[in-house]
Structure 1
């Protein structure tokens, strides 16, 4: 790899932005394509698919071979609420290589015994997201699971403003209607609020905390891989 390409990739890595190194195997030339540059690239469709998969590999275009080295930031999942669903979701999310953390100011719930080996912050979300937790970004998913507006709403506002790729909230449609009103009064636009997956999770008829966790994780993976989770709504208890 050429030094200028390595430097460019390191800059994107440090900023938690996706990028791709395109190596022409016929002549050895290389170029770095940043995520924002993909739509205008001659290989746009191929690069977009590779970015969605997160996997590097060999492709052939019009008789020429290219190796695409995909660099994608580690995907983070921030769970708001040290609840039963979170307990079930943490090991599932870790198994698919998501970096998981849990935020809940209620110290009776946010204990290492209930969440072994999980970064746990017994803080209010606005305090945690302004300090110990790295800033939210487009490679973060946020799931608000407490049913308590004092805890969930600040996290949802922060996630929407940071343009997290996935934002979900537990609750019935009636609960969400009241949430929409509160978030509107807080200054969020209808377009921002519409990004919230609520009721959270794919509609698989989930009942138990573990089943709801499965539906949430499936929806997050669908959003991450470009599957359009908003096409299938539902899930989650009232």
Structure 2
């Protein structure tokens, strides 16, 4: 690998951006496809699919041939609300390789006994989220039902373009949420990115079932795109 390609690859990884290294297996020639260049590239659908899958593989002849080494940042999951659903959701996400953080200023809920082996921050979301590094490779869930806690977190997640944004509550609750966020300058297009009610519509009843529905929706959004993982 040429040093200039290696330097650029390392810079993209350090910035938590996906990158694809394509090697011509016949000649050894290599080219780098950065995440931000995919839309205007020669094969945007292919490169987007590779990044979504997050797996390296040989390319078929009709795909241009060679080998695609796909490097994506480790996904993060930020849960605002140290609630029962979060207790079930955190270990599922960790098994799937997510770096999980739970944020809740309510110290009665945010305890290590309830969330062992998970990064737990008992602070207000608007104060601590900028330090966590919320980004394009972060899934964000607002789960407290308390606008004072959830809304600032949702606004931050929207502005940081998290790949998944979900919020607990009924459609009536979400309608009121939309009014509040609109007043804060959030656009209609940005509001449309919020999955609310959160999770796939599978008839979930218990916190564990709701956690499964949420994690399935997060996975669908990451692998297939937001339109493929909307609740019914």
1:63, distance to aligned residue in structure 2 (A): 9.5
Residue pair 2:82, 2:103 contacting (<8 A) in 1 also? yes
Q: Structure 1 stretch 34-43 or stretch 1-10: which is displaced more? A: 34-43
Indicate the residue corresponding to 2:196 in structure 1.
Answer: 198
Whole-Å separation in 1 of the counterparts to 2:63 and 2:77: 41
Indicate the residue corresponding to 1:175 in structure 2.
Answer: 173
1:4, distance to aligned residue in structure 2 (A): 1.4
Whole-Å separation in 2 of the counterparts to 1:6 and 1:111: 43
Indicate the residue corresponding to 2:139 in structure 1.
Answer: 141
Q: Structure 1 stretch 54-63 or stretch 103-112: which is displaced more? A: 54-63
Whole-Å separation in 1 of the counterparts to 2:94 and 2:152: 25
1:129, distance to aligned residue in structure 2 (A): 1.0
Q: Does 1:8 align with 2:8?
A: yes
1:184, distance to aligned residue in structure 2 (A): 0.7
Q: Does 1:225 align with 2:218?
A: no
Q: Which runs of 5+ in 2 are unaligned?
A: none
Distance 1:15 1:60, change over 3 A: same
Indicate the residue corresponding to 1:92 in structure 2.
Answer: 92
In the alignment of these two chains, the number of paired residues is 232
- The C-alpha deviation readout for 1:55-88, integer Å capped at 9, x for no partner, is 0111132596311111101110000000000000
Q: Structure 1 stretch 140-149 or stretch 62-71: which is displaced more? A: 62-71
Whole-Å separation in 1 of the counterparts to 2:192 and 2:64: 43
- The C-alpha deviation readout for 1:114-139, integer Å capped at 9, x for no partner, is 000000000000111133x2x21111
TM value normalised by structure 2: 0.95
- The C-alpha deviation readout for 1:41-66, integer Å capped at 9, x for no partner, is 33433322211110011113259631
TM value normalised by structure 1: 0.93
1:213, distance to aligned residue in structure 2 (A): 0.3
Whole-Å separation in 2 of the counterparts to 1:174 and 1:206: 19
Residue pair 2:217, 2:229 contacting (<8 A) in 1 also? no
Q: Does 1:75 align with 2:80?
A: no
